[in-house]
Every structure is written in structure tokens, then in C-alpha cells.
Amino acid sequence: MSEQIFIPANQVSFREFIWGEHRNRTALKAAAIAIVIQFAIFKYFYPFVSFIHGDSFNYIQTASNNWGINTYMIGYPMFLRFLSVFTTWDFALSAFQYLLIQTSSLLLLFTVFYFYKPTRSLQIILLAFMVLNPLFLYIGNLVSSDALFLALSLIWFALLLWITHRPSFRLLIWHTVVVYFAFTVRYNAMIYVPIAALAFTLSSFSIRMKLVGIGMAIIVIGLFVLHTGNQYKVLTGSWQYSPFSGWQLTNNAMYAYRYVDSAHRKPVPGKFKELDKFVTQYFDSTRDTAKYPQEAMIASTVYMWDPRMPPYKYRQWFFRKDTMAPELKRWASMGPLYKDYGMFIIKRYPLEFIQYFLWPNSQKYYAPPVEFLEQYNSGKNSVPSIAQKWFHYKTPLLTIRTKDPKARLLDFYPILSGVINVIMLFGLLSFFLLGGFGQNTLFRKAILLSGATWLLNAGFTIFASSAALRFQSFPIMLSTVFAGLLLNWIWKLASAQTERIYTSSEGIILST
């Protein structure tokens, strides 16, 4: 394929591309009008923000007390606290989150349009997909880190494209800032560093500047990890960055361990014996899934959140002599042990782990469930006092102007995600088989970056996380854009070949 299929818009500046071209200026104005109208209609039906009963209140508690560590990453609580300096009106939070997502998505889209010049029809489809996307409304209205992380991730990837094609020291600084904030918001951002390293490698930066760009991202993240680990050491006596990962590993391992027959269980090291006793006794007493329906769930997160589960029962037993220990200390103190125990079980029973966790979780990744976005306010009509106090609600009751609290507009998303993942997979394979990776083009670099993001996110989600629509919102948006670009590339290649064959039949051979 020749360079001619994707010609960068080098003739004009990005500002001139946006505001100087009538078509793009009109598209942005139309997008702005559509965004405002959609949000106004949405807020008429949902006048209050929505809450995940558990996560949302944890964020508010962290923000209210100005804690440096808690169950979840502190980036979003710090965002809430910063916003509260200006207002605690929940409408302002919802509006800011939604507009931030839309602005970030438009930045990514027009960056793609500027550098790769897809066909007019594809531009219209992608613009409509982003601007009219109901997922943005529901995520933006949710008191959760999902909106902020989605926006930061979209900005981050747009910056990578700029670094790859138009590197500058200012972009390097902006990238460092954005990747730092993304990392404080969600653990998933740990995969952003190797992807950013690939972007710097592909750029025309000097070797020294490439090392500086990669090094700055590593340093700011490393400092945050060091600071967080030191706070946990003060609290628990053990240095650790993320107790959450320990709970997650034990949770994931238990979904495999449950299916190991009691006669085939192997001995565990001494430090795990008491914990393993809690786990195996629970499994042996809950075989009846009719009586214990949670045990029919596959590759879920019940074991790490339900107080009735063995990890919580063991924690209670562990702190039996220290009943005054605060909740955070109890939770965080289990992190190192649960990390080691989870890894031990996974290594001891790898086939069961593949069959009963990795494979079901990969299916969830392929078509992620709507999860907490499915119902407004987790299906409840009120909030606890901490949320009422933070947002200055007159009563704890939340009202909506629709009879159905379910988000029906999101029902198509698992199917859409599955289709996009298939297109992305076969698009990447086609790009490889048709020699796309062998070309020294701007588009090849973009596909390398998007493909790496897609693959690393899949690996991280399937092995170490849980798959849900709100967690996969950024990969879905990114995959949709680049799946469209890959189809566009294949179509242009086929058109060029058809034209070549037709012209050859007329006695003229076109060069390639």
C-alpha cells in the first residue's frame, strides 16, 4: 500500500484545520449544540447524579476527610475535593464530567482526522458515534472515577499521536502530567507507560529526548507509588503499593479453587493454612447453588466485597485481639498475604484458573456487562447521610422522571463491544497480512499504538481485573475509532487494486 492512502494534513496547522475549514468548524458547532441538548434532556429525566452504593460513598468519604489512601485510588476523591472548592452542586459535577468526556473524545477524533484523513462518510459516522453516545451521559452522571479516567485516557492517547507525529517538549510535559493523573485515578493506567514508551520510540525525538519523555513518566509514577507505599507502611507496618491487588488476586484465585475437588487439594505452606481453612470450609459448605446463589456466579468479584465471604471472615479472625483497629487498617493489612495466597493458588492450579476464571473473564471482556450502569442509583431511591451532606441534599431521597430506572439505551453495548472487538482483531490481522506493518507510514505508527493498547488492556483485564462496561469505556471508544480506520484502509486498498486491474486491462500499468 502506498503512502498516498493516508496523507497527513501538514499543509495547515491544527488550529487552522479546526477553525479555518468551514466543514470542520460547522461540525464542531453542530456537535456542541447536540451535546448541550442531549445533556439538558438527560438531566430532565435524571435531575440527581447516580451512585454506586459502596464505591461512590468511599470516594466521598476519602474526599471529605482528605485522606491520602483508601480502598480505591485517591485521584478521583482529590478531584471531588478540588471541585468542592467551587461548588458541591451535583449538577455541576455531572455537567463537568460529561463535558470533559465529550471534549476529550472530540480532541481524539479531530486529531485522527487531521493526521490520517479518513473518508468523509467515516468521519461523519465516528463523530455521530461520539457526540450521540448515551454511554457518556450515564458515566458522566455517575459519582465514580470512570468519567475522569475515560476523559484522561482519551486525552492521553491523543497526546501519543501528537508525540509520534509532531513531537515537542511541550507535548512531553503535557503527557507527563496527564499520565500521572490517570495513574492516580485507576490502576489500569500502569499499562500506559509501556505504550507511551512505544510512542516515544516511534517519534522523531532524539534518543536523549525519548529517554527523557519515558523517564519523566516513570519518575512521576514512581514517586506516587513510593509515597502511597510509605503511607501504607505507616498504617500497617508493611510496605505495599496496592492492598486492592492482593484482595483481587485472592478473589480471582478462589473462582478457580472452588472447582478443585477436595480430594485433589494439595497442602499449602504454613502461613496460608488458617486462611486456606476458612476458604475450603466455605467451599465445602456451599455446594448447593440453589441455597447459595452467589456460588453460581463465574469470574465475579463477590469474594472480595461480600462480608460473608472467607477473606472477610479470616480478616475478622486475624484482628480478633485488636477490635479497635480502624477499617482501613484491617483491609490494607490483608493485602500482602492475600497477594501471596492468590498467586500460590493460581500457580498450583493453573488449568483450573484458565478454565474457571481466565476463559469466563475473557468472554466478559469480549462483551462486557452493563453492570452498575444498568439501573439508576443501583436500583435504590435514596442515599446515605455522607452523600446527602456532601451534596447538600435536603432529603436522602432521589427522584427521577421516568418509570423505568433501567438504562435501556445501553442494552446494545455488550453486542457492540463484541462486534468491535472482532473487527479490531481481524482488522489487525488483515493489516499484518497485507503488509501494512511493513510500511513506513504515519498510519502504521497509529495502528501499532492502538493495537498495543487494545492487547495490553485485554491482557490486564482478563488476568487481573473485572470486565464491565464502565471499565472498558475507553478501550471500546478507541477500538471503534481504529476499527473504522482499519476498514477504511482495507477499502482504499481494495479500491486501489481494482483501479489498477481495470487500468491494466486498458494497457496502462500504474506504479505502486
Residue 4 has pLDDT above 60, yes or no: no
Position 466 scores a pLDDT of 84
Give the chain's mean pLDDT.
92
Residue 455 has pLDDT above 50, yes or no: yes
pLDDT band at 509 (very low <50, low <70, confident <90, very high): very low
Q: Which of 75, 43, 42, 71 is nearest to 57 (CA)?
A: 71
CB–CB of 113/20 below 8 Å? no
pLDDT tens digits, residue range 312-336? 999 999 999 998 999 999 999 999 9
For 251-305, the DSSP string reads HHHHHHHTTS-GGGPPP--GGGHHHHHHHHHHHHH---TTT-GGGG--S-SHHHH
Lowest mean pLDDT among 56-70, 79-93, 397-411: 397-411
Residue 359 has pLDDT above 50, yes or no: yes
Task: Provide mean pLDDT across the span 370-377.
Answer: 92
Angle subtended at Cα 244 by Cα 239 and Cα 246, rounded to the nearest 5 degrees: 70
Instruction: Return the higher-pLDDT residue of 158 and 4.
Output: 158
Q: Which of 433, 466, 445, 226 is nearest to 362 (CA)?
A: 466
Question: What's 337-366 look like in SS3?
Answer: HHHHHHHHHHHHCHHHHHHHHHHHHHHHHH
| Strand segments (E) across 35-103 | 50-51
Task: Provide mean pLDDT across the span 157-186.
Answer: 97
- pLDDT > 90: what percent of the chain? 84
CA distance 478 to 276: 41
pLDDT tens digits, residue range 8-45? 445 788 999 999 899 999 999 999 999 999 999 999 99
pLDDT band at 512 (very low <50, low <70, confident <90, very high): very low
Position 1 scores a pLDDT of 41
Task: Provide mean pLDDT across the span 58-73.
Answer: 94
pLDDT band at 6 (very low <50, low <70, confident <90, very high): very low
Alpha-carbon distances of 432 from 91, 267, 338, 447, 455, rounded to whole Å: 47, 47, 41, 10, 15
Position 5 scores a pLDDT of 44
CA distance 393 to 381: 13
pLDDT tens digits, residue range 231-244? 999 999 999 999 99
pLDDT band at 50 (very low <50, low <70, confident <90, very high): very high
Position 297 scores a pLDDT of 87
Residue 453 has pLDDT above 50, yes or no: yes
Position 281 scores a pLDDT of 95
- pLDDT > 70: what percent of the chain? 95
pLDDT tens digits, residue range 100-117? 999 999 999 999 999 999
Q: Where are the domains of the chain?
A: 3-237+374-504, 243-366
CA distance 159 to 156: 5
Position 3 scores a pLDDT of 41
pLDDT tens digits, residue range 186-214? 989 999 999 999 999 999 999 999 999 99
CB–CB of 148/97 below 8 Å? yes
pLDDT tens digits, residue range 38-49? 999 999 999 999
pLDDT band at 118 (very low <50, low <70, confident <90, very high): very high
Quick one: cell of 392? Answer: 447538600
Global confidence as pTM: 0.92
pLDDT band at 505 (very low <50, low <70, confident <90, very high): low
Task: Provide mean pLDDT across the span 269-273.
Answer: 95
